[in-house]
Amino acid sequence: MSTEARTGKRFPLELPIKIHGVDQGSTTGNMSAAGVYIRGNPALEIGSSVEFEIALPPELTGGNEHVIVQCKGRVVRKDAEGDQPAGVACVIDSYDFVRQP
């Protein structure tokens, strides 16, 4: 029997994500107020600190411009598909919203 560690509602959003200090090309798999699942090939290990930015498009925010969410968090799970990394789950410790034109 497994226990679910997630808190809050997850939204299935596939958005580009910029991970500081890591090669790009990753996207979000889902998001909540407390965490994010990052798909792609992030070179992140469980327990490591991570800083990243996600651009929320106007159709999600109801505004006229992108909103950048700058986040700091920690990797809590790493998934693999065969011998390739599938993604990582991160808990978000803090975040700030930055409006962009």
Per-residue pLDDT of the chain (101 residues; tens, 9 = 90+): 444 455 678 889 999 999 998 877 899 999 998 999 999 877 788 999 999 999 999 998 888 888 999 999 999 999 876 766 689 999 999 999 986 65
> What's the token pair of residue 62?
């109801």
Q: What is the pLDDT, as a whole number, of residue 2?
A: 40
How far apart, in whole angstroms, are the C-alpha atoms of residue 63 and residue 93?
A: 25
Residue 28 lies in a domain: yes
Q: What is the total count of domains within the chain?
A: 1
Residue 27 lies in a domain: yes
Residue 1 lies in a domain: no
Q: What is the pLDDT, as a whole number, of residue 85?
A: 61
Range of the domain at 85: 16-99
Residue 51 lies in a domain: yes
Q: What is the pLDDT, as a whole number, of residue 7?
A: 60
84's CB contacts (< 8 A; 6+ apart) are 41
Residue 10 lies in a domain: no
Residue 67 lies in a domain: yes
Residue 9 lies in a domain: no
How far apart, in whole angstroms, are the C-alpha atoms of residue 91 and residue 28?
A: 13
